[in-house]
Amino acid sequence: MNKKIIITMSSLAMIVGIFLAGNVGLKFFFHDYLYETPNLKGLTIEEAKALVESDFKLVDMGEHYSELEKGEIYSQLPISPKHIKKGRPIKIWISKGMDTVILPDLKGENMQDARVILSDLGIKVGRISHTMEGYMNNKVIGTDPSEGSSISRGSSVSLLINVSQIKNIRMPDILGYSLGEGEKILREKKLVIGDIKKVYRNDFPKDTIIDISYPAGKDVLAGSVINITVTTQNEEE
């Protein structure tokens, strides 16, 4: 084999090598080896697995409340239509459905029991109105929204309370008392415990009442909701 043939063959080999390398580079830069992330929102896990097949790995990140139906994927990372390599994981979050509850019938319940029932459902007591109807004292005779309504957790429900005699209560001075002592005093005065806020303070004993929603000595209606601020020595709280 003469020198000219060897040079020609070497040149052809170089050209083929350059072509192949260039083709691989083009494929890389033009996403021939990258895949578009599918949009999995609204699909069940089974539907998502069927869609991605073996191209991607699905990682279940848990269930949370959302506006989508229970069992449907409501969020994902990476989001669509981002391009990622084949086989990369896609993290998905599954919907637990709407975070709502059905408001129970509270008619006939006293104020404190109604508050406990609502608190267990994640519902707050909102506005409290009083009326003088019938013989029941300090009992719930109506709610807004009405019983059977679907409401979101964390929202408020207004109560209409019947009292045999509407009277004012002098707001007791519970500042400086412990939470347990303050709650006892308020209940004895026919007042309802509302939200209990915790504030980090290391200059008071734990659970010391340092603020109330009504000033001591002010006249308030029986059955009024009193919000309390107490101390905690845990900075995270």
Domain that holds residue 185: 167-237
Q: Give the total number of structural domains in the chain.
A: 4
Please indicate, yes or no, whether residues 90 and 126 belong to a single structural domain of this protein: no
User: Strands 156-162, 209-212: parallel, antiparallel or unpaired by DSSP?
Assistant: unpaired
Are 71 and 118 contained in the same domain? no
Taking the C-alpha atoms of residue 112 and residue 216, their distance in angstroms, rounded to an integer, is 21
CA distances for 176 relative to 61, 88, 183, 208, 225, angstroms? 45, 58, 12, 6, 19
The DSSP 8-state label assigned to residue 214 in this structure reads: S
Domain containing residue 76: CATH number: 3.30.10.20
Give the count of alpha carbons within 13 A of 147, CB side only. Answer: 11
Q: Are residues 75 and 65 in the same domain?
A: yes
User: CA–CA separation, 71 vs 146, rounded Å?
Assistant: 29
pLDDT per residue, tens digit, the chain (237 aa), is 555 555 555 555 555 455 444 444 444 444 457 888 899 999 999 999 999 888 899 999 998 888 888 899 999 999 888 888 888 999 999 998 878 889 999 998 988 889 889 988 888 888 888 777 655 677 888 899 999 998 888 888 999 888 766 567 889 999 999 999 999 998 888 787 888 899 999 888 999 999 999 889 888 877 778 889 999 987 665
